[in-house]
Amino acid sequence: MTKVAIFGAGQIGRAVYQIILDLSSDILNQPGNAFGDIDAFVMDSDVNNLSKLENFEKHYITDFASKTQNEIAIALTTYGATHVINALPFSFNQKVASAAAIARCSYIDFTEDDIMADKVQEIYKGTNLNCA
């Protein structure tokens, strides 16, 4: 099973979650599909943002600023994540990417900051995991 952890329940994070739900129900669950089973959950520090999502009880409240990358990695492993989509502000990218790599999750974020993107690529260098 592919399990996607989406970091951030703002407008982008909620949109990504909805797209994954739509894909899961419309495409991936068709007989004979080549993609397998997919699920997703969202992690955010703001319960108000999380409450706007379907299936509120399957999401997690996490204060990213106070957590170490190892604590975040443990959470990803505990929740069974295989992939991470980071929709948090770019200042969290290095910490979340490091945690995702430790947890052996593929990773993508939405940064357009070249310096941060280079740092994230360096984290994933030699891991054999996908990173963008």
Which tens digits make up the pLDDT trace of 15-33? Answer: 999 998 888 776 655 666 6
Q: What is the dihedral of CA 14, 98, 103, 16, to 10 degrees?
A: 10
The whole-number pLDDT of residue 56 equals 80
Each residue of 90-125: pLDDT tens digit?
999 999 999 999 999 999 999 999 999 999 999 999
pTM of the model: 0.91
Confidence of residue 54 (pLDDT cuts 50, 70, 90): confident
Cα separation of 84 and 61, whole Å?
16
Find, among 77, 80, 70, 95, the residue nearest to 8 by Cα.
95
Please check whether residue 123 is in contact with residue 97, taking contact to mean a CB–CB distance below 8 angstroms. Answer: yes
Contacts of 52 (CB under 8 A, 6+ apart): 9, 14
The SS3 call for residue 31 is coil
What is the per-residue pLDDT across 68-86, written as a single tens digit (0 to 9) for each? Answer: 999 999 999 999 999 999 9
DSSP-assigned states of every residue in 62-88: --TTTS-HHHHHHHHHHTT-SEEEE-S
Within 10 Å of residue 27's Cβ, how many Cβ atoms? 11
